[in-house]
Amino acid sequence: MKRVALILAGLLALVVILAGVVYVAFTGPGDIPPASRDLANLSREDRAQMEEAGEYVARAGDCVACHKSPDGLALAGGTAMETPVGSIFGSNITPSRDHGIADYSADDLYRAMVYGITPDGGHLYPAMPYTSYHAISRADSDALWVWLMAQDPIERPNRPAELIFPFNLRPLVAFWNLIFRSDPPDQPVAGLTGADTGNDPVARGRYLVEVLGHCGECHTPRNLAYARKPDAHLQGTVIEDALAPDITPGALARRGWNAADLEDFLAEGLSPQGVMTFRMFPVLSHSTKYLSPEDVSAVAAYLTEGAPAPAPPAPNDGALTDNAPGHALYLGLCAGCHGAEGQGQPFGSVPLRGNTSAMFDDPLNLVRIIREGIPARHLTGYQRMQEMPAFADRLNDDELAALVNYLRQRWGGHDRALSEEDVAGASG
Amino acid sequence: MSDRMISVTMRINGEKTGPVDLPEDLMLLEYLHEYLNLTGTRYGCGQGVCRACAVIHDGAAGAEPIPACITGVAWANGRSFRTVEGHATRDDDGNVTQLTSVQQAFLDHFSFQCSYCTSGFVAAATALVERLEAAPIAPEDVEDVVLDALNENICRCTGYVRYLEATRDVILNTPGLTRAAVTEENPS
């Protein structure tokens, strides 16, 4: 017995030593290329130009979405990201000496963005999307650094992550990186700024989607280790209690999207398929509405590359009689704004004929929107949508199921009715 | 307007209306205006946002203001509603003999000018008063509860304050709508 314990202890010690060796030898940051230019000796004009470029990189990378404070201060940190193992809070990335990143060099920022490693060797959680930012060009990272350092410092302490054991042990992230961070980056590195940006819109779109936009962080399903599944890239998943839908070219075409629709959706938050909702609305507010028309087109071109012609399901008016309770509820509670034929109203409510949420297999978003409503949205320019009321108090489970099934059957291309349990139980 | 018709029955101000065949996508407000000649409920934004069209739905959960402009007769069918015409007490000839305390308070406080929003405010404030009859609140909470209940009603003339003050006065001066404040001597 004693001998078995000794052997086990020895094995454990061996594992710990091996892990230590692996940690020290293999889990540090990879190569850090030299700075794109002499950042210590920028002329006034060059600095101004880099700040402008850096702001655009920050917009395209949507830093603010996670790094703003809950009370709305850009970059001050504190926005919660909910994961299955606890909450992580965006950090203060203003140039505050006590709480922010004032001491970061341009190399330090690159190391954090690309490898998820802080100047003192600490590991960021992959909630910071460094596995996406992994292929950021050095010129873009440098421009971002110049812009970040030109912002006002905000003296707000960081809020520590609240994760359950063993996920609260940051050094373990090193081993996660060993498996899931592909070094060197396997994505094209032509950036937005600098000399090597290239002219291929699809390549630029790919960089904007895969690297800076980090779309896959929400739209790609994750494995048990919470790493994105490489074989299910952008195929959609439930995250933070909402479905981030499948945005592969084929799936978009099946739901009726073409490149022009995507351009409208990204630039204005609205397209014939619907309006930005849940965590996609902040993406519009902080990021996609600031992209240049050329870049919006590039993103749309990349997301629809090789897609077949859009072929959305045809409206099925059989639902009017097949699901009479759902039809009555639709007329009584929805048609006043969305129209008896699902045509919607400009500046008021989206059309439901062709609505993308009715087409998802998962009813989650539809159920949540009906139950919770949507706040009034100031989208971009003059474009806005009125508040949608919450109907949780008006509909029992039976009625909710009838209404959800009606929308799915009439405009979503679904034949089969979901059960009351499937609908009422839909949640993240 | 749909050419599909449905047979509709509902109670309006305590009176049974119907059965009547109506276009299936008719809104409750249109039914009140065009079929019953009850024109005191107003059409404002047509999107359920301004609440000029609010009427009281007397449902299982008690009195609740709902926007009549976006609520279809398909849902209203079989239910019971009160419009601004139904609040005051009337004599046998239909003349108003006694306003409700909410209506009187809105007059006393000069709460409105053009009155376009008034029937909606009467509905919201009346529903609130009736809810408090069942579940009184502490006096110190009245201000917040009134603001919350009337917050969705839009007025373009007077700046809301007199509507809020009038409703607050009704609640504080009507026995049974508030309960004693929670103190150490008087725990709830």
Of A66, A65, A79, A83, the C-alpha closest to A428 is: A83
**Same domain for A159 and A53?**
yes
Segment B33-43 shows an average pLDDT of 97
**Could you tell me if A79 and A171 lie in one domain?**
yes
Instruction: Tell me, yes or no, if B120 comes closer than 8 A to chain A by beta carbon.
Output: no
Residue A4 lies in a domain: no
Residues A277 and A237 grouped into a single domain: yes
Which CA distances in Å does A22 have to A17, A27, A30, A173, B51? 9, 7, 14, 13, 66
The answer to whether residue A311 is domain-embedded is no
Residue A310 counted as domain residue: no
Tell me the two tokens of residue A175.
């081993």
Distance CA A342, CA A331 (A): 10
Domains (range + CATH), chain B: 5-86 (3.10.20.30), 89-173 (1.10.150.120)
The answer on A65 and A164 residing in a single domain is yes
Higher pLDDT, A427 or A20: A20
- Same domain for A50 and A183, yes or no, is yes
What's the CATH number where A297 sits? Answer: 1.10.760
User: What is the least distance, in Å, from the CA of A340 to any CA of chain B?
Assistant: 6
pLDDT band at A428 (very low <50, low <70, confident <90, very high): very low
- A333 CB near a chain B CB, below 8 Å? yes
Q: Are residues A82 and A180 in the same domain?
A: yes
Name the percent of chain A lying above pLDDT 70. 96
Q: Are residues A234 and A264 in the same domain?
A: yes
CATH code, A370: 1.10.760.10
pLDDT digit string, tens, across residues A170-213: 888 888 888 888 776 665 567 888 656 667 888 899 999 999 99
User: For residue A384, is it within any domain?
Assistant: yes
Query: Distance (Å) from the C-alpha of residue A388 to the closest C-alpha of chain B?
Result: 9
Task: Report how far residue A329's alpha carbon sits from residue A406's, in angstroms, rounded to the nearest whole number.
Answer: 9
Residues of A in contact with B75 (CB under 8 A): 328-329, 331-333
User: Which chain B residues are closer than 8 Å to A393 by Cβ?
Assistant: 61
- Tokens 């498996």 — which residue? A179
Is position A27 within any domain? no
Residue B37 clears pLDDT 70, i.e. is over it: yes
Q: Which of A158, A187, A216 is the last residue of a domain?
A: A187
A403 shares contact with chain B (CB less than 8 Å): no
pLDDT at B182: 55
Q: Which letter does DSSP use for residue B84 in this model? A: G
Residue at a domain's end among A134, A152, A187: A187
> Contact A335/B49, CB-based, under 8 Å?
no
A294 plus A248 within the same structural domain = yes
Name every chain B residue with its beta carbon within 8 A of the beta carbon of A328. Answer: 6, 74-75, 77
Q: For residue A146, is it within any domain?
A: yes
- Other beta carbons within 10 Å of A143: 29
Same domain (yes/no): A222, A276? yes
Using CB atoms within 10 A of its CB, is residue B68 exposed (0-12), middle (13-18) or buried (19+)?
Answer: buried
The predicted pLDDT at position B184 comes to 60
Minimum mean pLDDT among A171-185, A331-345, A369-383: which range? A171-185
What is the average pLDDT value for chain B, to the nearest integer? 93
β B80-82/B5-12 pair status:
parallel
Query: What pLDDT is recorded for position A427?
Result: 63
Q: Decide which of A187, A222, A251 is a domain's last residue.
A: A187
Q: How confident is the model at residue B140 (pLDDT cuts 50, 70, 90)?
A: very high
Q: Which residues contact A313 (CB under 8 A, 6 or more apart)?
A: A359, A411, A412, A413
For residue A335, the chain B residues in CB contact (below 8 A) are 25, 72
Residue A364 belongs to a domain: yes
pLDDT of residue A358: 95
- Counted domains in chain A: 3
CA-wise closest residue to A421 among A400, A403, A407, A406: A400
One domain for residues A129 and A210:
no
Residue A344: closest CA among chain B residues belongs to which residue? B47
Residue A19 has pLDDT above 80, yes or no: no
Q: Is residue A37 part of a domain?
A: no
- Asked whether the predicted pLDDT for residue A20 surpasses 90, the reply is no
B80 - beta bridge partners?
A: B11
d(CA A315, CA A410): 5
Per-residue pLDDT tens digits for B94-134? 899 999 999 999 999 999 999 999 999 999 999 999 999 99
How many CB atoms are located within 10 Å of the residue A261 CB?
A: 22
Kindly indicate the confidence band of residue A355, based on its pLDDT and cuts at 50, 70 and 90: very high
Residue B187 has pLDDT above 60, yes or no: no
Q: Provide the domain limits for residue A408.
A: 319-424
The two three-digit tokens of residue A391, written as one number = 């109907």
Q: CA A294, CA A192: separation in Å to the nearest integer?
A: 12
**How crowded is the C-beta side of B164, counted as CA atoms within 13 Å?**
18
Do A329 and A412 fall within a single domain? yes
Q: Say which residues have a Cβ less than 8 Å from residue A359's Cβ, sequence separation at least 6.
A: A254, A255, A256, A312, A313, A408, A411, A412, A413, A414
Residues A207 and A182 in one domain: no
Q: DSSP E strands: which ranges in A170-310?
A: 237-239, 242-244, 270-271, 274-275
- ipTM, 2 dp: 0.91
